[in-house]
Chains A and B, each alone.
Chain A
Amino acid sequence: MSDQAREAQLRRAGWRLMASTVRPQRTWVILGVGAGAVWTSAKIVIPAFAGAAIDDGITPGDGGVILKYVVLILLVGLVQAGGTALRRYSAFRISYRAETDLRQRLFAHLQRLHFAFHDQAQTGQLMARANSDIQQVNQVVIMLPLTISNIIILLGTVAVMMLKSVALALLALGTLPLLGYFATRFSHRIAPVSLALQQELGDLSGVVEESVAGVRVVKGFGAERRQEARLTIEADSVLDRALVAAKMRSNFLPLVDFLPAIALVAILWYGGHLVLDNKLQIGDLLQFNAYILMLIWPLRLTGMLVAQSARSAAAAGRIFEILETDTAVVDPPHPKPLPPTGHGELRFESVRFGYSSGKPVLDGFDLTVQGGEAVAIVGSTGSGKTTVARLLPRFYDVTDGRVLVDGVDVREVALHDLRRSIGIVFEDTFLFSDTVSANIAFAVPDAPLEAVRAAARLAGADEFVVDLPDKYDTVIGEQGYSLSGGQRQRIAIARAVLADPRVLILDDATSSVDPTKEHEIRAALQQVMQDRTTLIIAHRAATIALADRVVLLDAGHIVAEGTHHELLENSEMYRQILAQGTTDPGASTEPERTRP
Chain B
Amino acid sequence: MRPAKGGTVSAPWGSIFLDEALSRDEAERVLKRLWRMLRPWRLRIFISALLIVGQTACVLAGPALVGHGIDDGLKVNNPDKLNLYASLYLGVAVFALVMGRLSIRAVARIGETFLRELRVRVFRHLLSLGMEFFEREKTGRLVARLTSDVEAMQELVQTGLTMFIQNILVFVGALIAIFLTSWQLALFTLVVVPPVYVASRWFRRASNRAYLDVRERIGTNLATLQEGLAGVRVVQAFGRERAFTRRFNETNEAQYDANIKTARIATRYFPVVEYSGVLGIAIIIGVGGWLVDAGTIKIGVVLSFVLYLNSLFEPVQQLSQLYNTLQSAGAALHKLFDLLDTKPSIAERSGAIDLPPVGALEVDEVSFGYAHGPDVLHSVSLTVAAGERIALVGPTGAGKSTLAKLVTRFYDPRSGVVRFGGTDLRDATIQSLRERIVVVPQEGYLFAGTIRENVRVGRPEATDAEVDAALEALGVRERFSLLPEGLETEVRERGSRLSAGERQLVSLARAALADPALLVLDEATSNLDPGTEQAVERALEALTAQRSVVVVAHRLSTAARADRIAVIDHGNLAEVGTHDELLRQEGRYASLWASWTAAQSVRAS
Contacts and interface: CB of A to CB of B under 8 A. Distances in A.
B282 A74 contact: yes
Contact of A269 (B82, B266, B441, B510): B82
Contacts of A250: 100-102, 104-105, 108
Interface in A512-561: 512, 539, 541-542
Given A127-B222, A265-B93, A582-B603, A235 B119 contact: yes
A412 to B, nearest CB: 16
A479 B223 contact: yes
Nearest to B401: A590
A226 B457 CA distance: 7
B430 interface: yes
A512 B525 CA distance: 9
B427 interface: no
Contacts of B306: 50, 286, 289-290
A456 B518 CA distance: 46
Interface in A286-307: 286, 289-290, 293
A580 B533 contact: yes
Interface string B519-553: 00010011101100100000000000000000011
Given A54-B299, A73-B278, 10 more contacts: A224-B124, A242-B154, A250-B104, A272-B69, A276-B82, A282-B70, A282-B303, A433-B4, A578-B603, A586-B555
Given A242-B112, A475-B2, A111 B289 contact: no
A430 B324 CA distance: 40
A585 interface: yes
Interface string B253-281: 10110011011101110111011001101
Nearest to A100: B256
Nearest to A109: B245
B108 A242 contact: yes
Contacts of B514: 221
Interface in B96-142: 96-98, 100-102, 104-105, 108-109, 112-113, 115-116, 119-120, 123-124, 126-128, 131, 134-135, 138-139, 142
B368 to A, nearest CB: 16
Contacts of A580: 530, 533
B82 A107 contact: no
Given A264-B89, A586-B596, A257 B96 contact: yes
A80 B146 contact: no
Nearest to B68: A268
Interface string A163-188: 00000000000000000000000000
Interface string B385-422: 00000000111110011000000101000000000000
A381 B501 CA distance: 15
A207 to B, nearest CB: 8
Nearest to B238: A443
Nearest to B447: A210
Given A70-B282, A208-B143, A249-B159, A380 B105 contact: no
A426 to B, nearest CB: 7
A131 B252 CA distance: 12
B151 A201 contact: yes
A344 interface: no
A458 interface: no
A411 to B, nearest CB: 16
A110 B229 contact: yes
Contacts of B278: 46, 73-74, 76-77, 80-81
B135 A92 contact: no
Nearest to A226: B460
A365 interface: no
B62 A228 contact: no
A212 B136 CA distance: 12
Contact of A221 (B66, B458, B529): B458
Contacts of B256: 96-97, 99-100
A590 B1 contact: no
A262 B263 CA distance: 36
B226 A123 contact: yes
B193 interface: no
A541 B603 contact: yes
A199 to B, nearest CB: 13
A584 interface: yes
Contacts of B96: 254, 257-258, 261
A118 to B, nearest CB: 5
Interface string B237-248: 111110111001
Nearest to B439: A220
A246 B104 contact: yes
Interface stretch (A1-9, A153-161, A351-359, A415-423): A415-423
A375 to B, nearest CB: 19
Nearest to A442: B238
Contacts of B69: 268, 272
B252 A53 contact: no
Contacts of B113: 239
Nearest to A240: B112
Interface residues of A, number: 158
A273 B73 CA distance: 10
B45 to A, nearest CB: 16
Contacts of A201: 147, 151
A235 B116 contact: yes
B281 to A, nearest CB: 6
A588 B234 contact: no
A289 B116 contact: no
B143 A212 contact: yes
A84 interface: yes
Interface in A548-594: 565, 577-578, 580-591, 593
B438 A220 contact: yes
B100 A275 contact: no
A178 to B, nearest CB: 13
A447 interface: no
B559 interface: yes
Contacts of B112: 238-239, 242-243, 246
Given A282-B70, A443-B239, A100 B252 contact: yes
Contacts of B159: 249
Contacts of B315: none
B3 A430 contact: no
Interface stretch (A58-66, A143-151, A332-340, A402-410): A58-66
Interface in B441-460: 441-442, 445, 447-448, 457-460
Given A282-B303, A419-B236, A479-B3, A235 B131 contact: no
B496 interface: no
Contact of B530 (A204, A380, A426): A380
B263 A89 contact: yes
Interface string B44-70: 000000000001000100100110011
Given A127-B222, A208-B142, A213-B139, A53 B238 contact: no
Q: Return the 7 tightest CB-CB contacts between A and B, nearest first.
A: A586-B596, A222-B434, A77-B278, A254-B100, A246-B108, A92-B263, A580-B530
A142 to B, nearest CB: 10
B109 A246 contact: yes
B339 interface: no
30 contacts: A76-B278, A77-B278, A77-B282, A88-B263, A100-B253, A104-B249, A118-B233, A126-B229, A131-B225, A201-B147, A205-B146, A212-B142, A221-B510, A222-B434, A236-B116, A239-B112, A249-B159, A250-B105, A254-B100, A261-B89, A264-B66, A275-B74, A380-B530, A395-B236, A433-B3, A443-B238, A539-B527, A581-B530, A587-B554, A590-B401
B400 to A, nearest CB: 7
Contacts of B236: 111, 115, 395, 419
Interface string A241-283: 0110111011101110110011011001100110110000010
A220 B600 CA distance: 36
A115 to B, nearest CB: 7
Given A61-B293, A66-B289, A254 B101 contact: yes
Contacts of A73: 278, 281-282, 285
Contacts of B552: 590
